[in-house]
Chains A and B, each alone.
Chain A
Amino acid sequence: MSNKAIVQLNHVEKFYGENHVVKNLEMEVYEGEFLSILGPSGCGKTTTLRMIAGFEQQSEGIILVEGEAVGNKEPFERNVNTVFQSYALFPHMNVFDNVAFGLKMKKVGKAEIKKEVLKTLALVQLEGFEKRFPSQLSGGQKQRVAIARAIINKPRVLLLDEPLGALDKKLRKQMQFELKRLQKKLEITFVYVTHDQEEALTMSDRIAIMNGGILEQIDTPSGIYDHPKTKFVADFIGESNLFDAVVEKADEDGIVLSTEAGFVYGTGKGFREKEMIYLSVRPEKTRCSLSPVDGFSVQGFIKESVFIGTLVTSIMVLQNGQEIKITTLAGQPAPVVGSTQYLYWQPEDAVLMHSASNDVLAAVDNVDLSGYSADAGMGGLG
């Protein structure tokens, strides 16, 4: 994996009539990486993929593949291939002819086609299936044929549109592993659209999170998990305890924040006093104690504890009614149900995010907010 961009999207917009489905998208896909585009349904992720593939035209902006603008190019003129969600295997052709289709269109010689098809089928572990028709294959086998049919063309970028969506959970796990293996072996760049965050977190080198047509954040899985840049990302990936907070005091030691339920403590740079922010703490980083902890004044009572395998999840209810999740490892002392406790965390475990409403205030008052960068990924007003 290098940092050389193989696909670039510059200010890409997509409208369907009145519907603005992709908004000012700026994204780079690096050569050889496994990039997932993750988001809830209707977030514009499939549209983005289809614009790269050439099935849709962007309304505005430029898409570059290998440094070349592909706006006017047909799908087959782009050095990319697609694995479709519904597999889209040709039902009237057997496995061999399906996989051979791309080479046949390129007028490759018969002997060469045969050699390549058999090689590719071996790669996806489907030797001996050449004569079968798609209707005689299981979901997983169809998926492998679809992948073989795409990679035989040796694309620089393989686009996958929720390829494992129709498979059952166990098979999905297995195929995730195989896709990753294939990607490493072939050294092809994968752009992988999914709504399954677990899938994205386990497979990807980087994840692009989209919501409502906006790219919320693009980062490594751990970067996304540990340092979400927007409230949406914090909420969407994994579990999070989210607070609306106001910065009371910010200095080198840390940041004192006031929430509806009391004062808490965090760290971060570029936050000003009286700024409204979002605060996110993962349940496994959230702690509670019977005695007050320095800097924290939030109290709540433990409503319930649920044992989930190796973890215990406790629910703490704060004075304002907000429910907080606290997970502890099974075997460790868990908070006693019914007790009233103080909430706290290590200041560095709290993730502070600029609130989109600050952009509004900045715009309205024309206040200089140069203290922080506005492109922190929250294009909520874009």
Chain B
Amino acid sequence: MKDETRHRFKNKTLPLITMISPVTVWLLLLIAIPLLYILVISFASTDSSHNIVFQFTLNNYAKLLDPTLLTIYGNSLAVAGLTTLICILIGYPFAYIMARTTPFRKTLMLIFLMLPFWTNSIIRLYGWRTLLGENGYINHFLVLTGIIKEPIGMLFTREAVVLGMVYTLIPFMVLPLHTVIDKLDRSLLEAAGDLGAKSVKTFFYVTLPLTASGIFAGIIMVFIPCLGYFFVSDLMGGGKSQLIGNVIERQFKESFNWPFGAALSIVLILITLILVKIYTKVGGKVDDLGVV
């Protein structure tokens, strides 16, 4: 009887391969193969008409040591670092209030956080340009009210790029933070208070260490995309602010030097992997990042 049931069950169930193969094919076609291709061409070179010549060379990687490129890498890391820091400083209180407030306000805050996502981020960044530009609303208002005489050049600065990055990426800081703060057992805070810790001490001895995993997850979620979001520095920084993402984009779209662009990408991927490795080393879980 039991055998028969199992037999019937087995016959009615699709073979395992049919269930996992769509995902596998998807991952292979759209991620593994392109990545492998990037890796391969990063060791190739181009001829005079920009065709890829498959001949092993380390030239692309040697070119990475160029001082201008190193400056751009440094610049990118600085922008990403600053963006992440600002995201933590704004995101943590936001997430904390969100986790502790009434359900209605929580929903409201979540809507404010998520609603902009329904619009393309490039369009939203254009919105910032109309606000910050020389003939933008802010300058217009400031001149009109006589606070300033000449419009200030707010757009096309590194600060504008950071602003754009923070604006685009802050939900990725708030959401993992909200998750850990929400899960934090309130009786732990009460216990700390009971044992003599004032609210500031409770925060640094209990709340912060217990929500650090959310901060780490947020850092990963903000810092890494920040290195690659070339369109933000394009729109907010104009030509002035060059980030590594812009350099890579240009290799593929303008210079047609795919092998060099590939080498730059590989380095970026390596930086990402190192960061994720550090994240898991300090106790973070890859699952919490929501990327797998």
Chain A interface residues (CB < 8 Å from chain B): 53-55, 74-76, 81-82, 84-86, 88-92, 101-102, 105-106, 149-150, 153
Q: How would residues 180 to 214 of chain B score, 1 for a CB under 8 Å from any chain A CB and 0 otherwise?
A: 00000101101111111110010001100110000
Chain B interface residues (CB < 8 Å from chain A): 185, 187-188, 190-198, 201, 205-206, 209-210
Do A86 and B185 touch across chains, with their CB atoms under 8 A apart?
yes
* 16 pairs from A and B in contact (CB 8 Å cutoff): A55-B193, A55-B194, A75-B190, A75-B194, A76-B193, A81-B195, A82-B190, A84-B187, A86-B185, A88-B185, A88-B190, A90-B191, A92-B209, A105-B196, A150-B194, A153-B196
Residue of A nearest to B206 (CB): A90
User: 8 closest A-B pairs (Cβ-Cβ)?
Assistant: A105-B196, A102-B195, A88-B187, A88-B191, A76-B196, A75-B194, A75-B193, A92-B209
Min CB distance, A74 to chain B, in Å? 7
**Chain B residues, CB < 8 A from A102:** 195-196
Do A81 and B197 touch across chains, with their CB atoms under 8 A apart?
no
Min CB distance, B113 to chain A, in Å? 28
**Chain A residues, CB < 8 A from B185:** 86, 88
**Chain A residues, CB < 8 A from B210:** 90-92
Residue of B nearest to A81 (CB): B194
Do A86 and B197 touch across chains, with their CB atoms under 8 A apart?
no
Bound together, the chains give a CA A76 to CA B195 distance in angstroms of 6
Choose one: A54, A82, A92, A106; the contact of B191 (CB below 8 Å). Answer: A82
Choose one: B190, B198, B209; the contact of A84 (CB below 8 Å). Answer: B190
Bound together, the chains give a CA A84 to CA B205 distance in angstroms of 19
Bound together, the chains give a CA A105 to CA B196 distance in angstroms of 6
Do A90 and B197 touch across chains, with their CB atoms under 8 A apart?
no
**Chain B residues, CB < 8 A from A53:** 194
**Chain A residues, CB < 8 A from B195:** 76, 81, 101-102, 105, 149-150, 153
Number of A-B contacts (CB under 8 A): 60
Q: A86-B185, A91-B210 are in contact. Are A55 and B197 (CB under 8 A)?
A: no
Min CB distance, A136 to chain B, in Å? 16
**Chain B residues, CB < 8 A from A54:** 193-194
Residue of B nearest to A78 (CB): B194
**Chain A residues, CB < 8 A from B187:** 84-86, 88
**Chain B residues, CB < 8 A from A92:** 209-210
Q: A88-B187, A92-B210 are in contact. Are A101 and B193 (CB under 8 A)?
A: no
**Chain B residues, CB < 8 A from A84:** 187, 190-191
B interface SS class: helix
Min CB distance, B148 to chain A, in Å? 48
Bound together, the chains give a CA A149 to CA B219 distance in angstroms of 35
Choose one: A85, A90, A106, A153; the contact of B188 (CB below 8 Å). Answer: A90
Q: A88-B191, A150-B195 are in contact. List 12 more A-B contacts (CB 8 A).
A: A74-B193, A76-B196, A81-B195, A85-B187, A86-B187, A88-B187, A88-B188, A90-B205, A102-B196, A105-B195, A106-B196, A153-B196
Min CB distance, A126 to chain B, in Å? 18
Min CB distance, B205 to chain A, in Å? 8
Residue of B nearest to A84 (CB): B187
**Chain A residues, CB < 8 A from B188:** 88, 90
Bound together, the chains give a CA A200 to CA B291 distance in angstroms of 52
**Chain B residues, CB < 8 A from A90:** 188, 191-192, 205-206, 210
Bound together, the chains give a CA A74 to CA B197 distance in angstroms of 10
**Chain B residues, CB < 8 A from A55:** 190, 193-194
**Chain A residues, CB < 8 A from B196:** 76, 102, 105-106, 153
Bound together, the chains give a CA A81 to CA B195 distance in angstroms of 7
Bound together, the chains give a CA A81 to CA B193 distance in angstroms of 10
Bound together, the chains give a CA A238 to CA B191 distance in angstroms of 35
Bound together, the chains give a CA A89 to CA B206 distance in angstroms of 11
Min CB distance, B53 to chain A, in Å? 56
**Chain A residues, CB < 8 A from B194:** 53-55, 75-76, 81-82, 150
**Chain B residues, CB < 8 A from A85:** 187
Min CB distance, A77 to chain B, in Å? 9
Bound together, the chains give a CA A75 to CA B191 distance in angstroms of 9
Bound together, the chains give a CA A269 to CA B126 distance in angstroms of 88
Residue of B nearest to A50 (CB): B190
**Chain B residues, CB < 8 A from A81:** 194-195
**Chain A residues, CB < 8 A from B190:** 55, 75, 82, 84, 88
Min CB distance, A339 to chain B, in Å? 53
**Chain A residues, CB < 8 A from B209:** 92
Quick one: which of A85, A89, A105, A149 has the most chain B CB within 10 A?
A: A105
Min CB distance, A211 to chain B, in Å? 25
Bound together, the chains give a CA A102 to CA B197 distance in angstroms of 8
**Chain A residues, CB < 8 A from B193:** 54-55, 74-76
Bound together, the chains give a CA A271 to CA B192 distance in angstroms of 53
Bound together, the chains give a CA A46 to CA B205 distance in angstroms of 27
Min CB distance, A90 to chain B, in Å? 6
Min CB distance, B219 to chain A, in Å? 19
Bound together, the chains give a CA A149 to CA B194 distance in angstroms of 11
Residue of B nearest to A86 (CB): B187
**Chain A residues, CB < 8 A from B197:** 76, 101, 105
**Chain A residues, CB < 8 A from B201:** 105
Residue of B nearest to A105 (CB): B196
Min CB distance, A150 to chain B, in Å? 8
Min CB distance, A271 to chain B, in Å? 47
Min CB distance, A42 to chain B, in Å? 19
**Chain B residues, CB < 8 A from A75:** 190, 193-194
Min CB distance, B213 to chain A, in Å? 10
Min CB distance, A102 to chain B, in Å? 4
Bound together, the chains give a CA A74 to CA B191 distance in angstroms of 12
Bound together, the chains give a CA A102 to CA B195 distance in angstroms of 5
Residue of B nearest to A91 (CB): B210
Bound together, the chains give a CA A86 to CA B196 distance in angstroms of 19
